[in-house]
Amino acid sequence: MSEIRFALSSGDRFNSVAFDRLVGSLVHRAPEPEHSLIIDLGSARFFDPYGMVCLVMLARSLQRHQHQVAFVLPNDSDALQFGHSMGFYDQLALYSSLRNTGRTRSAAPVRRHGLELTPILAGTDISTVVGHFLALARAELGFGVGDLVDSAKMVSELSSNVRDHSQDQGLAAAHLYRDRRGSRYISIGVADLGIGIRQSLSQRHPEAGQWTHEQAVAQALAGLSSRSVGGGLGLSSTRELVRRYQGHLALRSGDAKLQLSADRQPQALRVALFGGTQVGISFSQMADKG
């Protein structure tokens, strides 16, 4: 069986941009199932939660399409250790083989501030995701009570949407980081391979079936819901939270991706078609919190 190799093409960071490029390369080359696919992460020095959950979804998707997939693990020791501590490579191994695994891991891994990759199958999984978010936001970011409630509701609805509407199991992860200025921020990734936003909305709003994926994503962000009661994906409240905490949002479904940040206008991008819905969110600490 011949091999086709896909290498990390966006420097040493695997995030939403790197995922878009990787999926675009796969779609462009359209490998047949008889080709073994090698996804080389050897140069990676950083993975964010969005990048990790999306890579696992990609491995699942390729397995569904009868591809044999292998991931080359990072050469960087910190990236290798971080991936192990987050359960990232264990999740990848469910759907693919792993290469470059012979390197010795630290006997005493550093305690990470976050939530390892967690399958979303039941209400208890959603509680776990929200609980970790609340603990980090309360202790590390200086969120007040009202903001804790608002942001936790949004995280809960994002996770609940996977269980209730995607018709698929999902995956979530979260971690606390420091930026170059020393400020703390939480990064969260939630992803599934389900029916996507457009089809989900069309079950309650038949006209949505005629929309583009971009239109469906925009309507979901504006508050249109696939639920009979409630706030849908929890995205309609995101604008204010993004502004208040200098946050960022990346929302991907179908062939559409919408990016929001506090200091820029919303940006809609056309990306390679990929199943389900993938969401990445980050929130920064309060300015007066040390």
Q: Compute and round to an integer the Cα radius of gyration of the chain.
A: 18
Helices (H) and strands (E) in the chain, counts: 9, 11
Tell me what pLDDT residue 278 has: 93
Average pLDDT value for residue range 228-237: 55
Residue 193 has pLDDT above 60, yes or no: yes
Answer whether residue 189 shows pLDDT above 90. Answer: yes
Calculate mean pLDDT across residues 271-282: 92
| pLDDT of 290 | 41
Task: Name which of 163, 173, 197 is nearest 276 in CA terms.
Answer: 197
Q: How many residues does the chain have?
A: 290
pLDDT of residue 174: 92
pLDDT (mean) for 163-183: 83
Mean pLDDT along residues 248-253: 91
- pLDDT at residue 104 in the model: 53
pLDDT score of 233 more than 60: no
Backbone φ, ψ for residue 30 (5° rounding): 40, 60
Q: Which residue has the higher pLDDT, 81 or 114?
A: 81
Same fold, 3-99 and 114-284: no
pLDDT at 59: 95
CA separation for the pair 237, 167 (Å, rounded) = 24
274/196 Cα distance (integer angstroms): 9
User: Which pLDDT score, from 0 to 100, does residue 108 have?
Assistant: 44
103-123 pLDDT, tens digit each: 655 544 445 578 899 998 877
Q: Which residues contact 157 (CB under 8 A, 6 or more apart)?
A: 230, 231, 232, 233, 234
Q: Which CATH class is domain 114-284?
A: alpha beta
45 to 54, 140, 189: CA distances (angstroms)? 17, 24, 18
* pLDDT of 286 strictly over 70: no
Q: Out of 164-168, 204-208, 260-264, which region has the weakest mean confidence (pLDDT)?
A: 164-168
209/285: higher pLDDT:
209
Among 143-152, 179-188, 273-282, the range with the most confident prediction by mean pLDDT is: 273-282
Q: Read off the pLDDT band of 232 (50, 70, 90).
A: very low
Q: Is residue 78 within 8 Å of residue 43, measured between CB atoms?
A: no
**Res. 224: pLDDT tops 60:** yes
Domain boundaries, the chain: 3-99, 114-284
- State the pTM of this model: 0.90
- Asked if pLDDT for residue 17 goes beyond 80, the answer is yes
- Residue 74's pLDDT is what? 94
Mean pLDDT, the chain, as a whole number? 84
Q: State the pLDDT at residue 231.
A: 44
Q: Tokens for 32, please give them.
A: 């047949």
Rounded mean pLDDT, 30-39: 86
CA 52 – CA 186 distance, rounded (Å)? 15
| pLDDT number for residue 112 | 59
Please, are residues 258 and 248 in contact by the beta-carbon 8 Å criterion? no
Q: How far is CA 85 from the centre of its chain?
A: 17
The domain 3-99 is placed in CATH, from the list 3.40.190.10, 3.30.750.24, 1.10.3720.10, 3.40.50.2300, at 3.30.750.24
- How is residue 102 written in tokens? 């012979």
